[in-house]
Amino acid sequence: MHRAVTVLLIVVSMVVVAGCVATTPPPTVSVQRGTPSTIKPSAEIESKPLEISLAQYRSTDEQLAALERLVAETRVSPLLGKGDILSVSVYDEPELTLTGVPVRPDGMISYPLIGDVQAEARSVEELTTEISNRLREFVLEPRVSVIVTAFNSLSYVINGEVVKPGIYPLVTDVSITAAVAAAGGLKQGQLRATSVELADLSRAFLARQGKLLPVDFVSLMRHGDLRFDIPLQSGDYISIPSGLSKEVFVLGEIQTPGLFAFRGDMTMSRTLALAESFTKDADLSRIHVIRGSLSNPTLIIADFKKVIAGQQQDVRLEPGDLVYVPPTGLSSWARMLNQIVPTITGIQTGIILRNTVRTSN
């Protein structure tokens, strides 16, 4: 009798298990372009991409100290450029005093006695020395003074969720908040008859000379922490992305890096297929999906070849993600960032210029 009950329990257990299996939907198989149809469903793949959260700064004071150090490292004296206006004088030589001297489109200025002088790409000190040396043929110990009355060649870029994104002249000292104000402020939208801000300040960044300056835009713009309100330099790039972003960046060792429209079923491997092909230097074993802010990102590192072979789970992308294909041998995040930032600013500046040309036409 005991044995009959045991057998009956086993049979009932098998029926219950079979019912559970029957009601569980089979895992979906996403076949990428150029991927063998034998790729395993993600549910059967044990290997997962490596996910790392990079919190570079443990406190606001630490972040401010890093900002101060990088500002000092990247500080440069502005160089003269086309369109700048100069005032040139020689002590006790009134006939050699000129005002409103423009740097011509060929980068030269004209000056009495010595003719054309190269001004573009020189500092004020270098131009002063050049004029002094050439005047010695005509004037005994000339004491030359060069003053810039208008720095028309200097500019910065502000892009993203501001009212008027674009390239702005840096004719006076301009801070981050002043630049945002000059661009019309942060863009506003309407949600249920209420005005809402469209900017995602947690992902905003300031790039200078290809480096990311650790400015906390949330503290600056939301909480008024003016310690982050640093003055801009020529060539600075401010990016204020949208909180409603529906785009994904694909950068690095690929043939056509760029910005791609986000779709709900977007994965890392499928997105890389959109970028066509890799360069010969691409390290496919360490594809980086960068999520969140560039200063404190989450990195998801996947092996593309294992994903294609069905040995590792693919990475499902989110709006605003950045997919980066590093070159072989580049392992440091800081060095990767030094390659990523100039590429992003270059792509977005190109979009601004195209839009400017299209608008002017």
Q: In the predicted model, what is the mean pLDDT of residues 14-34? A: 37
What pLDDT, in 10s, does the model give residues 184-212? Answer: 999 887 655 566 678 889 889 999 998 89
More confident site: 181 or 344 = 181
pLDDT digits (tens, 9 = 90+) for 60-96: 999 999 999 999 999 988 899 999 999 999 999 999 9
3-state secondary structure the chain: CHHHHHHHHHHHHHHHHHHHHHHCCCCCCCCCCCCCCCCCCHHHCCECCEEEECCCCCCHHHHHHHHHHHHHHHCCCCCCCCCCEEEEEECCCHHHCEEEEECCCCCEEEECCCEEEECCCCCHHHHHHHHHHHHCCCCCCCCEEEEEEECCCCEEEEEECECCCEEEECCCCCEHHHHHHHCCCECEEEECCEEEECECHHHCEEEECCEEECCCHHHHHHHCCHHHCCECCCCCEEEECECCCCEEEEEECECCCEEEECCCCCEHHHHHHHCCCECCCECHHHEEEEECCCCCCEEEEECHHHHHCCCECCCECCCCCEEEECECCCCCHHHHHHHHHHHHHHHHHHHHHHHHHHHHC
What are the pLDDT digits (tens) for 87-113?
999 999 999 999 999 999 999 999 999
pLDDT tens, residue by residue, 260-294 = 888 888 999 989 988 778 999 999 999 999 998 88
According to CATH, the superfamily of the domain at 85-150 is wza like domain (3.30.1950.10)
At 294-306, the pLDDT tens digits run 878 889 999 999 9
Percent of the chain beyond pLDDT 90? 55
Where are the domains positioned within the chain?
Answer: 43-76+154-360, 85-150
The third-level CATH classification (topology) of the domain covering 43-76+154-360 is: Outer membrane lipoprotein wza fold like (3.10.560)
Total-model pTM: 0.71
